[in-house]
């Protein structure tokens, strides 16, 4: 018999690691008092909840956020705690991770973040976020993984597995339908059951059923008139019923509004922004939370038994055994070289080369070649323009804001790269010049974290433009770092963008620069697409995302060709806002009810989100939807390389989906250029004769392959019956209809190189 050393008493079951966890949970639960049970299901501070001290369960600490471990705030305030050991590595925001189209990068991301969290004493990371990018105005799209349910699913699973392999819980968020930010506590989403299951839920489902996430955060908004943090359909029926989720449902901060619903509808842990769990409140009033003394009183009065409470506590104890009570987990470390290397690698793989044209008349008298990578053997002067070349992007944006140990700014990264080049070369030395060009937001602090050098600027917009244009004349290259930032109404929590255009007069600046210098590169720093009315006049465009600590180094390495870009867009880059379904149909941001308490947002575009909408004209014409008139500026899945690839003819292993419900496609890919690089082969499924409306095509498999110049490799992609199915609203089941299908194989949603027909019997 196992005994405790000191007293030679038998080790209680709940502490006995040789016993199955469920047995330990039963034992712990049986020992807990009502007060102890109530205590573990709600917060005691901004980011912690109590353990059970009497039984040796430590307090539970959680923290934001998806792309780095947030600095500590005071116990009951949003002010900084002022720790000196909470500076972290900022990993690229999740749009960039999704743009790698590389699940191995997601695994590396999760593991690295987990190690940082462990060192900081956090047992749960409030992320990753997988809300679907429904409109490019969505303020938090930068925190999410794009518009496609399959891509987001494939990327979220290894992120969670990597994080949890370190003994740190994921808390996948915000479940669900939190697709925009404006009035996020009041938006009641009206969406078809089919769109809910086909578009908005798959990534959450994968997080639960494939990755086994230990935590999940309810969203602020409402669905069918009930807040998602205590929504019967979402939590009881789908999550805990259909998907058999055995982890905890955590409220978003202040997302709990009703005690009875919180008790009955599946919320397990209540956390808050202010101390009444809502938006305002007295100091240290955690007892006032819905799942606190009010709940205890209802039990004592006999309105509830402890049935619901015991279920919640069981889940919390399960979480404890995975994390705080897990003694085999590593210690973790912060700001290690390996974490910086991971952040750099993910950033380099996620940067997307959107456009790279050859100049008609060549450059420097040489044969015309694509503008990028920069030719440093001849360039003498490179002009860098734009606020985003010198602005820190790891602060701001809401709860994902960080306090970083370092953030290499784009201008600094390029200067460093060129200094190295100048040292090592006997060629012409290349100088960097800088012009501000425009002023956006000069505040370099957020929630008490102040960073970087001052970027205050007093000159007028005209003066800045004239300076930039003057310096652009005669420069070998002009590289403009513009885009959005993390300020309110940009890529930021709490509000959505007000319009699709670039802010701060950037369009005027870019047009003026393009008039005086043809060798212009625009690097867009953002988590969202933006309008680019000048796109035809700018030969090279790079999507640089918010890529964290190593931003400047990653961008410089791609611009200079040390790294061959391989990112692919995880969303459709519409030419105009009205090319997006939600906007074409006037279905954003919704309609206030007469009492101005709730705003109904009807997702009229249904399943036609992103490329599913952009593909519409060729199939559905105008019967159901207003015809969109322009093709995307850059399609979903698009991304260029400095080398070229050729795909062979795909071979299917059968003409029919086989009895085991699978079919595989093999295609060869050859690197036909002179640089090593990666291509991502994408497989979309098209249902040729369906009894219901179906998208023209849907992504169902992809694979990224790295090739040396001249190298050829076979890529095999397997799909199952799931890939052919749609959600049938009549039976509330997924259904694959027998008949003809096509596998469309290509390198972007608008670059389909081959089609393979097959049949489902
Ligand atoms: C955000 C969550 C975040 C929480 C804690 C909320 O406002 O919506 O994503 O995890 O705050 O900071």
CA of 65 to the centre of ligand 1 (A): 8
pLDDT, mean of residues 157-170 = 98
By alpha-carbon position, which residue is closest to atom 4 of ligand 1? 253
How far apart are the C-alpha atoms of 207 and 130, rounded to whole Å? 9
Question: What is the pLDDT at residue 359?
Answer: 79
Shortest-distance atom of ligand 1 to CA 127: 10
Phi, psi of 691 (to 5 degrees): -85, -10
Nearest CA to ligand 1 atom 7: 253
Distance 155 CA to ligand 1 centre (A): 21
Which of 48, 49, 63, 64 best tests ligand 1's pocket when mutated (most atoms within 8 Å of CB)?
64
* DSSP secondary structure, 705-721, as one string: EEE-TT-EEEEEEEEEG
How many CB atoms lie under 10 A from the CB of residue 532?
24
Distance 197 CA to ligand 1 centre (A): 24
CA distance 212 to 327: 20
Q: Which atom of ligand 1 is nearest to the CA of 171?
A: 10
Backbone angles phi, psi at 16, to 5 degrees: -85, 105
pLDDT of 538 > 80? The answer is yes
Sign of CA dihedral 583, 587, 589, 594: positive
Q: How do residues 274-303 score in pLDDT, each as one tens digit? A: 655 455 566 668 999 999 999 999 999 999
Angstrom CA distances, 300 to 42, 82, 294, 312, stand at 18, 42, 10, 17
pLDDT category of residue 361 using cuts at 50, 70 and 90: low
Q: Has residue 757 got a pLDDT over 60?
A: yes
Phi, psi of 647 (to 5 degrees): -105, 140
Rounded distance between C-alpha atoms, residue 315 and residue 171, angstroms: 14
From 669, 617, 609, select the one nearest 643 (Cα to Cα): 669
Task: Of 177-186, 265-274, 511-520, give the lowest mean pLDDT range.
Answer: 265-274
252 catalytic? Reply is yes
Which tens digits make up the pLDDT trace of 457-466? Answer: 999 999 999 9
Positive or negative: CA dihedral 670, 672, 677, 682: negative
d(CA 206, ligand 1 centre) in Å: 22
* Predicted local distance difference test score (pLDDT) of residue 447: 82
Q: How confident is the model at residue 77 (pLDDT cuts 50, 70, 90)?
A: confident
Residues 217 and 574: their CA atoms lie apart, in Å, by 30
- pLDDT tens-place string over residues 368-392: 799 999 999 999 999 999 999 999 9
Ligand 1 first shell, C-beta below 6 A = 64, 126, 173, 252-253, 399
Centre a 10 Å sphere on the Cβ of residue 296 and count the other Cβ atoms it contains. Answer: 18
Averaged pLDDT of the chain: 94
- Token code pair at residue 204: 């959450």
C-alpha 575: how far from its chain's center?
Answer: 22
Calpha distance 497→529 (Å, rounded): 11
Q: What is the pLDDT of residue 622?
A: 46
| SS3 state at 538 | coil
Which atom in ligand 1 lies closest to the alpha carbon of residue 65?
A: 10
CA gap 746, 61 in Å, rounded: 45
Which residue out of 252, 268, 476, 491 is catalytically annotated? 252
* 188 within 8 A of 223, measured Cβ to Cβ: yes
Mean pLDDT lowest among 5-14, 249-258, 586-595: 5-14
Q: In what order do the strands lie in the sheet with 698-707?
A: 698-707, 677-687, 739-748, 751-760
Q: What are phi and psi of 420, to 5 degrees?
A: -60, -45
* % of the chain exceeding 90 in pLDDT: 90
Q: Give the phi and the psi of residue 388 in degrees, each rounded to 5.
A: -70, -5
């Amino acid at each position: 018999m196992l005994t405790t050393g000191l007293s030679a008493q038998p080790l209680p079951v709940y502490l006995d690691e040789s016993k199955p966890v469920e047995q330990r949970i039963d034992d712990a639960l049986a020992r807990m008092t009502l007060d102890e049970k109530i205590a573990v299901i709600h917060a005691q501070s901004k980011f912690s909840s109590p353990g059970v001290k009497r039984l040796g369960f430590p307090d539970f600490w959680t923290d934001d956020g998806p792309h780095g471990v947030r600095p500590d705030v005071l116990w009951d305030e949003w002010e900084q705690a002022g720790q000196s050991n909470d500076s972290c590595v900022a990993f690229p925001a999740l749009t960039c991770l999704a743009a790698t189209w590389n699940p191995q990068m997601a695994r590396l991301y999760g593991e690295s973040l987990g190690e940082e969290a462990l060192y900081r004493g956090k047992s749960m990371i409030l992320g990753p976020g997988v809300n679907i990018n429904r409109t490019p105005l969505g303020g938090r799209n930068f925190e999410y993984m794009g518009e496609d349910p399959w891509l987001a699913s494939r990327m979220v699973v290894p992120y969670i597995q990597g994080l949890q392999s370190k003994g740190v819980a994921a808390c996948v968020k915000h479940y669900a339908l939190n697709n925009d930010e404006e009035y996020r506590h009041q938006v009641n989403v009206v969406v078809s059951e089919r769109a809910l299951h086909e578009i908005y839920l798959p990534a959450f489902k994968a997080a639960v059923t494939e990755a086994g996430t230990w935590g999940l955060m309810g969203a602020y908004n409402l669905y069918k008139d009930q807040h998602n943090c205590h929504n019967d359909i979402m939590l009881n029926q789908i999550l805990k019923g259909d998907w058999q989720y055995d982890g905890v449902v955590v409220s978003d901060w202040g997302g709990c509004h009703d005690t009875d619903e919180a008790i009955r509808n599946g919320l397990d842990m209540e956390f808050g922004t202010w101390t009444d769990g809502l938006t305002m409140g007295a100091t240290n009033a955690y007892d006032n939370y819905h799942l606190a003394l009010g709940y205890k009183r209802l039990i004592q009065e006999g309105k509830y038994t402890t049935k619901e409470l015991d279920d919640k506590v069981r889940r919390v104890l399960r979480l404890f055994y995975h994390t705080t009570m897990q003694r085999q987990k590593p210690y973790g470390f912060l700001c290690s070289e390996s974490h910086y290397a991971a952040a750099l690698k993910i950033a380099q793989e996620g940067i997307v080369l959107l456009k790279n044209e050859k100049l008609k008349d060549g450059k420097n008298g040489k044969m015309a070649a694509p503008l990028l990578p920069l030719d440093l053997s001849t360039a003498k002067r490179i002009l860098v323009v734009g606020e985003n070349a010198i602005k820190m992007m790891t602060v701001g944006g809401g709860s994902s804001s960080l306090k970083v140990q370092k953030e290499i700014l784009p201008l600094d990264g390029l200067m460093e790269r060129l200094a190295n080049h100048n040292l090592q070369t006997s060629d012409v030395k290349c100088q960097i010049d800088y012009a501000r060009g425009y002023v956006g937001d000069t505040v370099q602090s957020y929630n008490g974290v102040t960073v970087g050098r001052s970027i205050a600027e007093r000159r007028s917009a005209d003066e800045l433009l004239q300076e930039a244009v003057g310096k652009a004349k005669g420069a070998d290259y002009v590289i403009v770092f513009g885009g959005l930032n993390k300020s309110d109404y940009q890529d930021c929590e709490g509000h959505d963008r007000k319009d699709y255009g670039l802010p701060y007069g950037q369009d005027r600046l870019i047009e003026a620069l393009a008039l005086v210098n043809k060798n212009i590169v625009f690097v867009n720093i953002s988590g969202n697409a933006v309008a680019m009315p000048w796109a035809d006049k700018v030969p090279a465009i790079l999507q640089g995302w918010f890529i964290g600590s190593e931003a400047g180094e990653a961008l410089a390495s791609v611009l200079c060709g040390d790294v061959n870009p391989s990112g692919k867009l995880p969303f459709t880059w519409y030419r105009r806002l009205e090319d997006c379904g939600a906007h074409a149909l006037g279905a954003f941001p919704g309609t206030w009810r007469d009492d101005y308490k709730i705003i109904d947002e009807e997702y009229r575009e249904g399943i036609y989100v992103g490329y599913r909408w952009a593909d519409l004209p060729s199939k559905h014409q105008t019967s159901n939807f207003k015809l969109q008139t322009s093709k995307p500026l850059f399609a979903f899945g698009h991304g260029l390389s400095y080398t070229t690839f050729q795909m062979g003819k795909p071979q299917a292993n059968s003409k029919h989906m086989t009895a085991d419900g699978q079919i595989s496609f093999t295609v060869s890919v050859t690197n036909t250029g002179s640089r090593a690089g990666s291509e991502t082969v994408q497989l979309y499924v098209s249902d040729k004769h369906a009894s219901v409306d179906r998208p023209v095509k849907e992504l169902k498999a992809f694979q990224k392959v790295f090739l040396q110049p001249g190298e050829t490799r076979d890529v095999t992609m397997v799909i199952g019956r799931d890939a052919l199915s749609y959600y049938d609203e009549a039976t509330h089941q997924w259904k694959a209809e027998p008949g003809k299908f096509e596998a469309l194989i290509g390198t972007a949603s608008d670059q389909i190189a081959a089609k393979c027909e097959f049949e489902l019997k």
